[in-house]
Structure 1
Amino acid sequence: MLPTKLIAFAATLLLACSSCTQTPSSSPSSEAAKPGGGGLDRTSLPIAEPPVAPITTLDARDAKAPPRFEVKPPAGAPNVVIVLIDDIGFGHSSAFGGPIKMPTLEKLAGKGLKYNRFHTTALCSPTRVALLTGHNHHANNAGAIMELATGFPGNTGVRPRTITTLAEILRQNGYSTAAFGKYHETPPWEVSVSGPYDRWPTGSGFDKFYGFIGGETNQWAPAIFDGVTRVEVPTTPGYHFTTDMTNNAINWVSAQKSLTPDKPFYMYFATGATHAPHHAPKEWIERYKGQFAGGWDKLREETFARQKALGVVPADTKLTLRPAEIPAWDGMSAQQKKLFERQMETFAGFAEHTDAEVGRLVEQLEKTGQLDNTLFFYIVGDNGSSAEGGPEGTYNEMMALNGIVGKAEQMMDHIDTWGDPTTFPHFAIGWAWAGNTPFQWTKQVASHFGGTRNGMVMHWPKGIKASGEVRSQFHHVVDIAPTALEAAKIPQPKMVNGIKQRPMDGVSMLYSTDAPKATDKRTTQYFEMFGNRGIYHEGWVACTRHSIPWLIVPLPPVKDDIWELYNVDEDFSEANNLAAKYPEKLKELQAVFLKEAERNHVLPIDDRRSERFNPAIAGRPDLLNGRKTLTVYPGMVGMMENAFINVKGVHHTITAEVDLKDDKTNGVIIAQAGYFGGWVVYMKDGKPHHEYNFFALERTNIAGESALPAGKHTISYEFIPDQNKPGTGGKSILSVDGRKVAEAKIPKTQPFSFSADEGADVGIDAETNVSKDYKPGLPSSFTGKIIKVTVEQK
């Protein structure tokens, strides 16, 4: 037994400790007054747990447990849904006067608000990082798409830790979070099993992710991740990714509300549609049969008339003129017109189908009683409609991304199948221009509203009294995050994970919801993309168009660009250039641009496009870090181009060590990309093959004459380029066990990129098939044994 004095001393010590370690008492009133209320300081994340006093009671039966600490959102915080449609213009949707029926958008606008002066950055990744964080795109180091990142601040492709996503802010304030569809914000060299994963969706604040990582995907055969795991999609007839992602979004939100009905959610629903490839079910395409026979010039006039009738443009708005670089419809041949009509019918069907899938999500929110207290943003485009298809469109959109202009004669045989799995199409620039009515220019042209102005609908019955009205305050995607935070009564954090945060560039739009004539709270906004740049400041815009997306021509020095000036408070469509009339005003705004450019790391201006797909040219990180040899093994699939050795146009070899059980071996040894461009080493009926697929337009296939017997063999391939330049042709040589068995000439190669989402696979060719000699997926599996494959630059 313990001595009596020791017991007495211990008791005294316990009492003393108990009295001096009680929870520090802050004034309840001062705590509740902090932003967000609820007694929590939400300006520093993660929210710290309060200290807990030691319990002095010996027996748990005699003690009472303290209340459990749990971070919950402020009372009444709404759900938040952001729907973002890809590559659709201000003048495409029926809600904003366009020819494409989008009844879900119209329904939400009827009970919500249309914003007709809402802006994006003119390109995919930059708009998305700005939308998801509330910070300008260059501040996020996303001056262009992630695949074009460089070594300069403002363009590195890596979000700084001084910027935290809206998803992470809401998650740490008690929300469930999920993202579905396109996620084009992850640095491409981080898209591999080696990570890091902190800039993937699930490392950026989203509890759940189902979608694709990159700029686009094949809607019929997408490359999908669930979290960070590559998954095979169903191969059932009629599969379409937009439907698949909607099914997953509905399942997630239904389960989330079933299990935690009082917990609000944040959903980012970003469709791959309507970005090229324009893939739509045939029955949706047929709905628009014959509706675009008048051409893009007439469509633009018709759209403009509807826009005025709807009040989405002011009555005194002028329709801007067609630029000389965009051809007139009347100048097209009958053959071209037939092709172009089908292109637009397909795009329209694609867009209406997408809106119908958004409608299924909205219906589920209604069924579960969530829609009234859901702050719902329906953003109709992450930029203006895309002219990346070129003057005549393209059967294979990857050609455009490689700087190759498509020609109608390449496409005429595909008119009847346009939009189905055998095509990877994009429409002609005239349709993009018409889709951006009444503005000048298109996607990528950040200098003009045709590239940056998109329709947006905000819907929140519980929080917004007004409905069915138009709001004309000047706003930008950076304003979405602050709006959501104000609605949830959650402050912008000043500190996250011990790192001081950059103040958001955005301002909340809620001030405008029930005050149609409220003074704009956004008075300044810069724009820049590939040298096209502009500045909005207090009702005026100064801008200069430096380059045109589809014209691969020498560009003038940035310093020689000619600037324009518009009073956009009076000139909604930027139709009246006042630069000559007000030169001092122009100089004033140019100075504002430079100030904003310096603040946001916009400088130096970089006008390069396709060549920046090459990491060595762009100066960004490369996962291989200069290595010229890569050895891969069975089971390594989906290796993206920025996580694989670059073989485009360079002298290289592919050496495969295999073990064959008989002389009938079939299947893929190694393949990169797929049906719309790539290369593959495979076996058919025991014979080794190599095929180079140039954009599904030209194929060069070489093969051994004899089937290989059972046993171990070394199958080698060598490409020797003709010239040291992108796109060069070269000699194609196939060898077995050190003996040449076939040789041919490849006329030309893909210069900068094989695919936006299909990677390199060992032992199989997933998603789509490079060669027509086999079917994709499991049917392409190698029936022998692959020991290893080595790809080496020479």
Structure 2
Amino acid sequence: MKKLFASFYAISLLLAVACSPNTPTSNPKPSSGDGLDRTVLPIKEPTYEAVTELDARNTNPPPRFEVKAPEKAPNVVIVLIDDQGFGTSSSFGGPVNEPTADRLARQGLRYNRFHTTALCSPSRTAILTGRNHHQNNAGAIMELATGFQGNTGIRPNSIAPLAEMLRLNGYSTAMFGKYHETPPWEASLSGPFDRWPTRSGFDKFYGFIGGETNQWAPAVYDGTVRVEVERSPDYHFTTDMTTQAINWVSAQQALTPDKPFYIYFATGATHAPHHAPKEYIDKYKGKFDQGWDKLREETLAKQIEMGVVPPGTKLTERPAEIPSWDSQTPEQKKLFARQMEVFAGFAEHTDYEVGRLVSALEEIGELDNTLFLYVIGDNGSSAEGGPQGTYNEMMALNGIIGEASQMMNHIEEWGGPNTFPHFAIGWAHATNTPFQWTKQVASHFGGTRNGMVVHWPDGIKSKGEVRSQFTHVTDVAPTVLEAAGLPFPTSVNGTEQTPFAGTSFVYSFEDAKAPETHTTQYFEMFGNRGIYHEGWTASARHSIPWLMAELAPLEEDIWELYHVDEDFSQSNNLAESNPEKLKELQELFMKEAIRNHVLPIDDRRVERFNAQIAGRGDIMGDRTSLTLYEGMTGIMENVFINNKSKSYTILADIELKDAGANGVIICQAGRFGGWSLYMKNGRVHHDYNFFGLDHTNIAAPKPLNAGKHQIKYEFIADEELKPATGGKCILYIDGEKVAEGYIPKTQPFAYSGDEGVDIGTDNETNVTNDYKEGNNKFSGKINKVIVDIAPK
């Protein structure tokens, strides 16, 4: 009787869950086949009648309630490479050897009409949620968020990430690498942590929060805790994150082999800085001496031969703003060839690390039932390095164009720890072959079209084929849900959900000729805008990434028209011959722009690094004073008081045990730009490091005695609030002026993408060579440090 009762109870329980009166009848039917309503997440737990039996021995417990993924639901791995254009990888005819992508493509499918948003954070949020970037309030990178809807940097609760959907459906979830989705003013121990990975659906996170990191000395978080990585000449972040991913998935499968996993593996490579092991760089020595124009021709020929672009595809003309290879001097050609050798080595090394993850999945027997999406680029290759590249990419992000003369003495160490490099725009153009523009230029395919490989032996019979249906980053999440047999949840954590913007491309897995389902898609970034609709595109290129000149009004932009079903590369502008079609698409763009919160369009770049100008969140607000304490480290730039281009003072109360004190009192950023107040052999120093190019160092003339001291540093700006203003710097000890100097120029908009402010140490890279990395902790006691901004 007890067994009969238990069986009857279990059946009743399942029926009760399936027929819950709280389930809206309009929701789509669940496809998992287990009776659970998966359209409302989290899935409602069953209720039990009160037990009347006194003795547990005389009754049976009800069946255990546990949410499991649908039977045979695949594991999911999304690999996202950073800043790698369509014409880079050997899988799409490029010059960089990527055997892992090649192998997966031979056993799976290549998608040659897959599209991104043209920029990092926006593409990532679209992949992670299945909604358009402006719907996610990510109209640009998080650091450039504004006060307007569509650009606030705050992902709405009505947009639950794919990771959360899968986690609530019984998946284990983990993320490794670059996130770049957390609003920068929320990137501190004060939180909130709602938009950190571990509160966005991921059980595990190991990686960096911002847009880029030093691959040799990264600023890494494990969950929400800043961790210091191994200090070794052999350390490289891509290797580290891969090892972490392998360790996690191996343990997860050992403990719960029946539980599927979702891994988002988002490398910092090949975003600048281009950092690669020497043995990978050496593989490409002499391979790019022909220059970027010839490389474009070679790549297109290979793409046509491989069938990854249609026969007859034309090479677009090089824009006038991009210099020809032949116009460069022999010295410049030597430098530029080296830049591309390093980039290629960086890309191949990244693919090797992806291969380690693939091999690990194979070894634990999970590769065949893993839907593996290898997205080769979150946008086109980057032209942010400028016409001649740069040895320090932070200069480019501050609007400073690099010159070859600044870089020649760095050629041999290019790509190593003493450089923070980016290549010249000609290489970005070449690695986006056959298209005409680059990252940030959302109007054209060079910015928005990337190669993608899909591999799933248990779910896809077709092998080694090309798919040419229009697909987009917003299609990834719907595809994963369909492959897993899961419905779209209309409510997640109590909030009604915004529908997916994308459509699943599962339909294309076995049918190369199936009609595409994603037929309309807008694009916009910094005023560069376009629209795709049923085989046509309209494009308006408004701004150029490396040119900080004043822009013409948006209304004066010239629109182009392409019939891309017949013109793969957008080489034949039909605007004059078909004005009616162009007008139709322009009107469609405006409708989509209004519907997706694209308006008003904001074409500013570097100015938006300043929260006050941009109008976004700022935890400092109107504060002009900030008190810090020993042990506070890794304070990100956007949660520190903004002292750039302003007069300010630093006041430090310290106690010394002896007269030979050493170490950092307070510093910001590191080797490639920043400042540090420190002691060496008992003497107080302040070093201002201008992009690693120039140092201004002032120091007290004699050591301090043991005991309490007050150290004051003062910067008096020449022209208050003028970007990059110079100014006088003065050092005081116990109220007495002991040194002064003059800083010719200061960094105008940003110090670093990931290195923050440290009290009592200088983590990651060192601001000055007066002390060593990993060995600069202050030997005295720091009671407090006060940073005051002078009144305007």
Distance (whole Å) between structure 1 residues aligned to residue 723 and residue 190 of structure 2: 29
Q: 1:26 offset after TM fit, Å?
A: 4.8
* Structural mapping, 1:75-224, within 5 Å: 75-224=71-220
Distance (whole Å) between structure 2 residues aligned to residue 323 and residue 26 of structure 1: 65
Find out whether 1:616 has 2:612 as its counterpart. Answer: yes
* Structural mapping, 1:311-330, within 5 Å: 311-330=307-326
Find out whether 1:773 has 2:770 as its counterpart. Answer: yes
1:757 to 744, 754, 757: 754
Distance (whole Å) between structure 2 residues aligned to residue 542 and residue 264 of structure 1: 42
Distance (whole Å) between structure 2 residues aligned to residue 707 and residue 367 of structure 1: 60
Distance (whole Å) between structure 1 residues aligned to residue 176 and residue 409 of structure 2: 35
Find out whether 1:253 has 2:249 as its counterpart. Answer: yes
Normalising by the residue count of structure 1, what TM-score does the alignment of the two structures yield?
0.96
Distance (whole Å) between structure 2 residues aligned to residue 720 and residue 101 of structure 1: 52
Q: Which residue number in structure 2 is paired with residue 742 of structure 1?
A: 739
Find out whether 1:546 has 2:542 as its counterpart. Answer: yes
Q: CA offsets, 1:255-294, max 9 Å, x none?
A: 0000000000000000000000000000100000000000
Distance (whole Å) between structure 1 residues aligned to residue 535 and residue 31 of structure 2: 33
* Structural mapping, 1:206-285, within 5 Å: 206-285=202-281
Q: Secondary structure at the match of 2:201?
A: coil
Q: 1:54 offset after TM fit, Å?
A: 2.2
1:716 to 699, 702, 712: 712
* Structural mapping, 1:429-508, within 5 Å: 429-508=425-504
Distance (whole Å) between structure 2 residues aligned to residue 82 and residue 330 of structure 1: 40
Q: CA offsets, 1:679-711, max 9 Å, x none?
A: 010011111110100000011000010111111
Contact map agreement 1:399 1:406 (CA 8 A) in 2? yes
Distance (whole Å) between structure 1 residues aligned to residue 118 and residue 17 of structure 2: 49
Q: Secondary structure at the match of 1:330?
A: coil
Percent identity of equivalent pairs: 69
Contact map agreement 1:35 1:43 (CA 8 A) in 2? no
Q: Secondary structure at the match of 2:338?
A: helix
Structure 1 regions of 5+ residues with no counterpart? 1-17
Q: CA offsets, 1:483-518, max 9 Å, x none?
A: 000000111110112211000101001001100000
Distance (whole Å) between structure 1 residues aligned to residue 658 and residue 46 of structure 2: 69
Contact map agreement 2:17 2:44 (CA 8 A) in 1? no
Contact map agreement 1:176 1:207 (CA 8 A) in 2? yes
Find out whether 1:304 has 2:327 as its counterpart. Answer: no
Distance (whole Å) between structure 2 residues aligned to residue 428 and residue 264 of structure 1: 43
Normalising by the residue count of structure 2, what TM-score does the alignment of the two structures yield?
0.97
Distance (whole Å) between structure 1 residues aligned to residue 655 and residue 14 of structure 2: 71
Q: Which residue identity is paired with 1:176? A: S
Q: 1:60 offset after TM fit, Å?
A: 1.0
Q: Which residue identity is paired with 1:731? A: K
Distance (whole Å) between structure 1 residues aligned to residue 504 and residue 13 of structure 2: 37
Find out whether 1:398 has 2:388 as its counterpart. Answer: no
Q: Which residue identity is paired with 1:762? A: I
Q: Secondary structure at the match of 1:585?
A: helix
Contact map agreement 1:670 1:761 (CA 8 A) in 2? yes
Contact map agreement 1:732 1:744 (CA 8 A) in 2? yes
1:47 to 19, 31, 43: 43
Find out whether 1:341 has 2:327 as its counterpart. Answer: no
Q: 1:661 offset after TM fit, Å?
A: 1.2
Q: 1:33 offset after TM fit, Å?
A: 5.3
Distance (whole Å) between structure 1 residues aligned to residue 253 and residue 167 of structure 2: 16
Q: Which residue identity is paired with 2:270? A: T
Q: Which residue number in structure 1 is paired with residue 5 of structure 2?
A: none
When structure 1 is superposed on structure 2, of 735-744 and 161-170 the one drifting more is: 735-744
Q: Secondary structure at the match of 1:717?
A: strand
Q: Which residue identity is paired with 1:261? A: P
Q: CA RMSD in A?
A: 1.4
Contact map agreement 1:23 1:53 (CA 8 A) in 2? no
Contact map agreement 1:286 1:349 (CA 8 A) in 2? yes
Distance (whole Å) between structure 2 residues aligned to residue 54 and residue 622 of structure 1: 51
Q: Which residue number in structure 1 is paired with residue 363 of structure 2?
A: 367
1:555 to 533, 536, 551: 551
Contact map agreement 2:30 2:486 (CA 8 A) in 1? no
1:57 to 53, 57, 71: 53
Find out whether 1:418 has 2:414 as its counterpart. Answer: yes
Q: CA offsets, 1:85-126, max 9 Å, x none?
A: 000010000000000000000000000000000000000000
Q: CA offsets, 1:524-554, max 9 Å, x none?
A: 0000000000000111000100000001101
Q: CA offsets, 1:569-593, max 9 Å, x none?
A: 0000000000001111111001110
Q: 1:56 offset after TM fit, Å?
A: 2.6
Distance (whole Å) between structure 1 residues aligned to residue 646 and residue 773 of structure 2: 27
Q: Which residue identity is paired with 1:278? A: H
Q: Secondary structure at the match of 2:153?
A: coil
Distance (whole Å) between structure 2 residues aligned to residue 66 and residue 496 of structure 1: 27
Q: 1:27 offset after TM fit, Å?
A: 9.8
Distance (whole Å) between structure 2 residues aligned to residue 716 and residue 481 of structure 1: 54
- What number of residue pairs does the alignment pair up? 774
Q: Secondary structure at the match of 1:221?
A: coil
Distance (whole Å) between structure 2 residues aligned to residue 115 and residue 230 of structure 1: 37
Distance (whole Å) between structure 1 residues aligned to residue 693 and residue 17 of structure 2: 73
Q: CA offsets, 1:227-267, max 9 Å, x none?
A: 00000100122100000000000000000000000000000
Distance (whole Å) between structure 1 residues aligned to residue 401 and residue 220 of structure 2: 29
Q: Secondary structure at the match of 1:570?
A: coil
Q: Secondary structure at the match of 2:226?
A: strand
Structure 2 regions of 5+ residues with no counterpart? 1-7
Q: CA offsets, 1:751-783, max 9 Å, x none?
A: 000000000000000000001100122x11001
Q: Which residue number in structure 2 is paired with residue 292 of structure 1?
A: 288
Q: Which residue identity is paired with 2:622? A: G
Judged with a 3 Å threshold, the aligned counterparts in structure 2 of structure 1 residues 776 and 28 are, in CA distance, closer, same or farther, namely closer
Q: CA offsets, 1:194-240, max 9 Å, x none?
A: 00111000000000000000000000000000000000100122100
Q: Which residue identity is paired with 2:436? A: Q
Q: Which residue number in structure 2 is paired with residue 15 of structure 1?
A: none
Distance (whole Å) between structure 2 residues aligned to residue 757 and residue 215 of structure 1: 8
Contact map agreement 2:119 2:141 (CA 8 A) in 1? yes
Q: 1:35 offset after TM fit, Å?
A: 3.6
